Amino acid sequence: MTSLSSFLLWQHAQEQHTQLLQQADTCAHEIEMHAQRHRKEQPPTKREKAAILSMYYQGLPLCCRGGLANLRSIIDPCWAEYINDWAYENLGCTGNAPKEGGFQQGREKLEKFLNGEEDA
């Protein structure tokens, strides 16, 4: 194989790689848009909110893998992943000890978030 044909094969592979990355970005965007629509149309019930707050009061994790498993046991996966990400960013990942403000402020932030008063 000549160096020109090797280069052309490499260039073609690079173009395909770029196209696949663009397709993946488009798919990720479509998934996120669907998830946002789902969360808007089907917010957590009072019972689900109460169960999530109860988890927080008990010191059960809402973030990371353990928290995701806990959340999935009481709420649909779309909401579970959304809350899991929010908890990691806003409550920290040390047994739900909030990054700032302690347990009380963490509880207030979580309640506002679950009631749609605070976005992720």
Same-domain status, 7 and 64? no
The pLDDT assigned to 61 comes to 85
Section 33-53 average pLDDT: 93
**DSSP letters spanning 43-55:** PPPHHHHHHHHHH
Same-domain status, 51 and 34? no
Q: Which two tokens stand for residue 95?
A: 């047994």
The pLDDT assigned to 93 comes to 63
pTM: 0.74
**Higher pLDDT residue, 120 or 60?**
60
Same-domain status, 80 and 52? yes
Same-domain status, 51 and 35? no
Q: Which two tokens stand for residue 22?
A: 């663009």
Taking the C-alpha atoms of residue 52 and residue 93, their distance in angstroms, rounded to an integer, is: 16
Same-domain status, 14 and 59? no
Reported as a single tens digit per residue, the pLDDT across 5-26 is 888 899 999 999 999 999 999 9
Same-domain status, 64 and 94? yes
The pLDDT assigned to 59 comes to 83
Taking the C-alpha atoms of residue 103 and residue 112, their distance in angstroms, rounded to an integer, is: 14
Same-domain status, 33 and 56? no
Same-domain status, 96 and 106? yes
Structural domain tally of the chain?
2
The pLDDT assigned to 120 comes to 46
Tell me which residue range forms the domain holding 18.
1-41
Same-domain status, 60 and 76? yes
Same-domain status, 32 and 57? no
> Is the pLDDT reported for residue 33 higher than 80?
yes
